[in-house]
Amino acid sequence: MSLSFLTLSNHYVEAAAIFFAAYAVVIVVYRLYFSPLARFPGPRIAAATSWYEFYHGYFREGQYVKIIKGLHDTYGESL
């Protein structure tokens, strides 16, 4: 009985991992190509995830506000 439970639980873990990976891919594709914000220029990593903001806010000690100004200077404030 224990062996069948472990086998069954492994299938649930694999299914959950596959679901999470597929969900992440769908979200990134949506944000990069189909979102209303996709037409705005800027770094693709910033458009796809929130890790860009987290990195500059946490690891670079709150420098995200300064990065935004640099992005506006590089890519422009309007289309």
Tens digit of each residue's pLDDT (9 = 90 or more) over 38-76: 999 999 999 999 999 999 999 988 888 889 888 888 988
Q: What is the DSSP letter of 41?
A: -
Give me the phi and psi of 43, to 5 degrees please.
Answer: -65, 135
Q: What number of residues does the chain have?
A: 79
What are the pLDDT digits (tens) for 14-45? 889 999 999 999 999 999 999 998 999 999 99
Residue with tokens 């890519």: 75
Q: What is the pTM of this model?
A: 0.72
